[in-house]
């Protein structure tokens, strides 16, 4: 072992030297190549004699042009390759590799050592692989097998069988091999201990050196349209999501680019938290969005949409409001599979009856009344697509409006409007008419304007809002249609909630005020787009949804329609549903039906890596009916639960504890409050005594130091040490908040302290 270590240390040093030399050489080469490319571009035409006097001259010109273009293309391609190699070398310059397998391919008698790192490196001839990218097919053996028979898949679909003779793990710091381990069965117990025991960086980091077998299955999974990854808090779901994106970008590098992958994240701060991983692995970041942004764009100016965070504040802080039970029952219903089925049935029913239309009005007069529109709609074959039927009605209305406009020009109000135009208005009308005739500038004054033109223009302008409304299908009473869903008092197939009537009344009242609850946004838009056709985006090839337990079946159905060409990876943990009101289910059952069993695979990650074993054991007890949660064996302090009777002593204790943690060297400390309301209280008290950062829904950056953060913004991220500000039974007493308490406690990596003002939550007793 000792001599092995010396040999490997020697190899690392040689490799480091080689990498440094190559970097220096390539930096020179790429500068020269870039200058060459610029030079060729600049003097392109100087090098070509252009003449078309005779056929021979013409041919010579063509050949000259082709040669110059070829020279340019060759230089550009050499420059690009040199640039790529330089990038790879730079990624390897501190840690050239982290693992090695000794693999003997079946049918050969030679064992080849395969070194694995974050990029591929060949010798200068390009023939021998010095280091393999962790995503290369052969590297999968490193993650998937213990010594013994092993195999890996190659891109054409075949398998390479062989024997994995040995597996090593290396710890290399600043170009020196510090230690190496026989990685045997699982990769990384020792290395993992070290990695997980350290402090957290400002942002999430790649885990390629220590990916575990189950995680690797999820990262490299490549079958069907949908992959569901469920896993305990801290089991590496987000890490899997990020390494999986890197893997897909590598495997499909000829067909998929980073801007064709879209990650849905829970909030903007989360986006910044994960933004380092892909660049660290040499890839550009994928696109990121929140579901809320997609909804907001579609709801547009029609309603003022509540944000999901405002919705959560309501859930967490308005328990005493008399409307609370109805609103919560509504939230629960509107996010359920039952509601999804119910609206699907309603859409089918509207095909034969019950569509709500609006009168087309102009200057107080009804031009086409809603019954006429309904008659036209239902006069068409019910087998026709809904969108086509509505389009036919639109075209019919548009042609009717044209007729109305013509008649309207003769009306006295138009003549009056023409007569009352002052000079400025007349000139402005002249310019507009000139524009309609395609004239501009000086030509404007040449345009002859007669009364007929002016009448046409005046009617056109007055009717414009009506024309626009018809064009955007506002002749359908979308709000009425949505509200009408709540008028149905019984439905054969779906059980309606007992608060049904009150839910309907509350929904209507809110929409009438020009507001829309967040829970209504998706069903409302879904109803509309299911009838009009979904405005889809076909350029996205892969959609990744993190924190997927917080998405309703509607939202998934919507995503599927929105990105019809995309495969999906969905990662979540039902123990962490902050929307526990809305999600009773513990599985993504609708998702399976959406894509079909054939196209769906599920992987469960049971082992939890973030927190120490005592913290995992503690948090596990908060969710007794959960799927298995297995702690990674990492020692640490037992979590502390402490009750206080006064805020003053509680705050003094928080300040003392935080200061102590800072002295211990912790750089990421969170005081997690239940809501933003509570966060404000805490901050106003701590403000003078302790430096801290307040995290709000507007925070875009993941912050180091001491943060005060509401529960729902702490989703998905982690801190070295966590104080749960007030886990009293008053604050976390309701069953619906069990999962919230679990979520906040599981943010802690090394230390967890749960304070309570008054008697602690009974979940903590359990
Ligand atoms: N194989 C691994 N090697 C090293 N670190 C790992 C590994 N898997 C997970 N981790 C670490 O564990 C922590 C939790 O990972 P991650 O945030 O991906 O989990 P999660 O399942 O998304 O958590 P949650 O659902 O609680 O938000 C991170 O610090 C991550 O780097």
381-432 pLDDT per residue, tens = 888 899 999 999 999 999 999 999 999 888 889 888 888 878 788 788 878 8
- In whole angstroms, what is the distance from residue 89 CA to residue 15 CA? 11
| φ and ψ of 126, to 5 deg | 85, 5
Residue scoring higher pLDDT (199 or 559): 559
Q: Is the dihedral of CA 543, 547, 551, 553 positive or negative?
A: positive
Question: Rounded mean pLDDT of 183-200?
Answer: 71
What's the pLDDT at 471?
95
Question: Rounded mean pLDDT of 193-222?
Answer: 84
What's the pLDDT at 435?
80
Q: Is the CB of 236 under 6 A from ligand 1?
A: yes
What's the pLDDT at 44?
65
Q: Is the CB of 718 under 6 A from ligand 1?
A: yes
Res. 115: pLDDT tops 80: yes
What's the pLDDT at 49?
67
The alpha carbon of 609 and the centre of ligand 1 are apart by a number of angstroms equal to 6
Query: Which ipTM score applies to this complex?
Result: 0.99
Which class is domain 637-765? alpha beta
Instruction: Please report how many Cα atoms fall inside a 13 Å half-sphere around the Cα of residue 729, on the Cβ side.
Output: 8
Tell me whether residue 251 is annotated as binding.
no
461-500 pLDDT per residue, tens = 999 999 999 999 999 999 999 999 998 766 566 778 889 9
Q: Is the CB of 746 under 6 A from ligand 1?
A: yes
- In whole angstroms, what is the distance from residue 261 CA to residue 591 CA? 20
Question: Rounded mean pLDDT of 368-372?
Answer: 95
Q: Is the CB of 206 under 6 A from ligand 1?
A: no
Q: Reduced to 3 states, what is the DSSP secondary structure of residue 386?
A: helix
The alpha carbon of 71 and the centre of ligand 1 are apart by a number of angstroms equal to 49
Element (H, E) at 764: helix 762-765
Q: DSSP state, 138? A: G
Tell me whether residue 82 is annotated as binding.
no
Say if residues 422 and 389 touch (Cβ distance below 8 Å).
no
Token output for 620:
């596990």
Q: Is the CB of 610 under 6 A from ligand 1?
A: yes
What's the pLDDT at 465?
93
The alpha carbon of 92 and the centre of ligand 1 are apart by a number of angstroms equal to 23
Q: Reduced to 3 states, what is the DSSP secondary structure of residue 570?
A: strand
What's the pLDDT at 543?
97
Q: Is the CB of 499 under 6 A from ligand 1?
A: no
Element (H, E) at 168: strand 159-173
Residue from 186, 234, 245, 627 to probe ligand 1 pocket by mutation (most atoms less than 8 Å from CB): 234
235-284 pLDDT per residue, tens = 999 999 999 999 999 999 999 999 999 999 988 888 888 998 999 899 99
3-state helix, strand, coil in the chain (%, to 5): 50, 15, 35
Per DSSP, what are the bridge partners of residue 299?
none
* Domain segments of the chain as ranges: 2-92, 288-351+480-605, 637-765
What's the pLDDT at 472?
92
Mean pLDDT, all residues of the chain: 88
Q: Is the CB of 266 under 6 A from ligand 1?
A: no
Q: Which of 35-49, 200-214, 559-573 has the lowest mean pLDDT?
A: 35-49
Query: pLDDT-based confidence at 195, cuts 50/70/90?
Result: confident
Query: pLDDT-based confidence at 513, cuts 50/70/90?
Result: very high
- In whole angstroms, what is the distance from residue 364 CA to residue 413 CA? 13
Question: Rounded mean pLDDT of 626-630?
Answer: 89
What's the pLDDT at 48?
65
Say if residues 377 and 389 touch (Cβ distance below 8 Å).
yes
How many angstroms from the chain centroid is the CA of residue 550? Answer: 13
The number of the ligand 1 atom at minimal distance from the alpha carbon of 215 is: 1
Angle between helices 518-532 and 553-562 (to 10 degrees): 40
Tell me whether residue 231 is annotated as binding.
yes
- In whole angstroms, what is the distance from residue 526 CA to residue 555 CA? 9
681-697 pLDDT per residue, tens = 787 777 777 777 778 88
Tell me whether residue 199 is annotated as binding.
no
Q: Where are the beta strands (DSSP E) in 52-158?
A: 99-105, 111-117, 121-122, 129-133, 148-153
Q: Is the dihedral of CA 546, 549, 552, 557 positive or negative?
A: positive
Q: Which of 145-154, 337-346, 503-512, 583-592 has the lowest mean pLDDT?
A: 583-592
Q: Is the CB of 216 under 6 A from ligand 1?
A: no
Q: Is the CB of 215 under 6 A from ligand 1?
A: yes
pTM listed for this prediction: 0.86
Res. 300: pLDDT tops 90: no
How many angstroms from the chain centroid is the CA of residue 441? Answer: 49
For the purposes of burial, counting CB atoms within 10 Å of the CB of 480, is it exposed (0-12), middle (13-18) or buried (19 or more)? middle
Say if residues 557 and 532 touch (Cβ distance below 8 Å).
no
């Amino acid at each position: 072992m000792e001599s092995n270590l010396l040999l490997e240390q020697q190899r690392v040093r040689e490799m480091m030297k080689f990498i440094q030399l190559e970097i220096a050489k390539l930096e020179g080469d790429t500068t020269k190549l870039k200058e060459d490319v610029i030079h060729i571009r600049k003097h392109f035409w100087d090098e070509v004699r252009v003449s078309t006097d005779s056929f021979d001259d013409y041919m010579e010109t063509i050949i000259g042009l082709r040669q110059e273009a070829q020279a340019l293309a060759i230089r550009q391609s050499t420059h690009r390759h040199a640039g790529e190699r330089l990038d790879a070398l730079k990624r390897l310059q501190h840690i050239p590799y982290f693992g090695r397998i000794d693999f003997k391919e079946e049918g050969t008698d030679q064992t080849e050592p395969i070194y694995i790192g974050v990029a591929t490196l060949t010798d200068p001839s390009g023939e021998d692989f010095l280091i393999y990218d962790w995503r290369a097919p052969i590297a999968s053996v490193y993650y998937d097998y213990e010594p013994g028979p092993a195999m890996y898949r190659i891109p054409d679909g075949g398998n390479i069988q062989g024997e994995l003779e040995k597996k090593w793990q290396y710890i290399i710091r600043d170009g020196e091999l510090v230690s190496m381990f026989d990685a045997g069965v699982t990769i990384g117990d020792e290395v993992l201990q070290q990695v997980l025991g350290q402090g957290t960086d400002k942002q999430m980091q790649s885990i390629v050196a220590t990916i575990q077998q189950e995680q690797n299955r999820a990262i490299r999974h490549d079958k069907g349209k949908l992959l569901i990854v469920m896993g305990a808090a801290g089991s590496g779901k987000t890490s899997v999501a990020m390494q999986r994106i890197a893997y897909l970008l590598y495997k499909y590098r000829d067909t998929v680019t980073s801007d064709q992958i879209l990650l849905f994240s829970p909030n903007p701060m989360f986006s910044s938290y994960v933004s380092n991983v892909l660049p660290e692995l040499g890839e550009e970041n994928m696109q990121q969005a929140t579901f809320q942004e997609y909804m907001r764009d579609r709801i547009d100016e029609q309603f003022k949409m509540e944000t999901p965070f405002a919705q959560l504040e309501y859930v967490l802080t308005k328990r005493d409001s008399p409307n609370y039970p109805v609103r919560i029952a509504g939230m629960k219903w509107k996010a359920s599979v039952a509601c999804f089925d119910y609206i699907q049935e309603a859409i089918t029913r509207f095909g034969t009856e019950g569509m709500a239309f609006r009168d087309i009005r102009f200057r107080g007069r009804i031009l086409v009344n809603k019954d006429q529109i309904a008659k036209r709609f239902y006069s068409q074959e019910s087998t026709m697509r809904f969108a086509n039927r509505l389009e036919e009605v639109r075209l019919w209305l548009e042609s009717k409006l044209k007729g109305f406009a013509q008649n309207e020009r003769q009306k006295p109000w138009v003549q009056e409007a023409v007569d009352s135009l002052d000079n400025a208005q007349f000139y402005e009308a002249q310019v507009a008419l000139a524009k309609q005739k395609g004239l501009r500038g000086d030509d404007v004054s040449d345009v002859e304007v007669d009364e007929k033109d002016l009448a046409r223009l005046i009617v056109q302008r007055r009717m414009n809002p009506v024309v626009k409304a018809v064009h955007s299908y506002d002749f359908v009473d979308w709000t009425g249609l949505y509200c009408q869903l709540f008028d149905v008092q019984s439905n054969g197939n779906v059980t309606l909630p007992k608060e049904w009537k009150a839910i309907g009344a509350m929904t209507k009242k809110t929409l009438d005020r020009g507001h829309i609850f967040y829970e209504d946004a998706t069903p409302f838009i879904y109803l509309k787009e299911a009838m009009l056709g979904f405005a889809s985006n076909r350029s996205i090839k892969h959609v990744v949804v993190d924190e997927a337990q917080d998405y309703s079946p509607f939202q998934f159905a919507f995503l599927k329609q929105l990105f019809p060409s995309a495969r999906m990876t969905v990662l979540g943990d039902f123990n962490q549903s902050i929307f526990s009101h809305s999600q009773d289910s513990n599985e993504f059952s609708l998702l399976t039906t959406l894509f079909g069993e054939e196209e769906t695979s599920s992987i469960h990650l049971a082992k939890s890596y973030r927190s120490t074993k005592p913290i995992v054991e503690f948090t596990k007890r908060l969710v007794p009916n959960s799927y298995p949660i297995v702690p990674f064996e990492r020692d640490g302090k037992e979590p502390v639960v402490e009750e206080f009777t006064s805020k003053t002593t509680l705050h003094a204790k928080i300040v003392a504890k935080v200061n102590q943690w800072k002295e211990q060297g912790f750089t990421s400390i969170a005081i997690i409050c239940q809501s933003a309301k509570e966060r404000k209280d805490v901050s106003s008290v701590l403000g003078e005594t302790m430096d801290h950062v307040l995290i709000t829904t507007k925070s875009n950056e993941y912050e180091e130091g001491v943060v005060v953060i509401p529960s729902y913004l702490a989703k998905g991220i982690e801190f070295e040490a966590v104080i749960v500000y007030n886990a009293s039974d008053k604050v976390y007493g309701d069953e619906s908040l069990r999962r919230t308490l679990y979520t906040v406690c599981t943010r802690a990596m090394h230390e967890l302290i749960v304070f309570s003002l008054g008697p602690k939550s009974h979940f903590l007793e359990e």
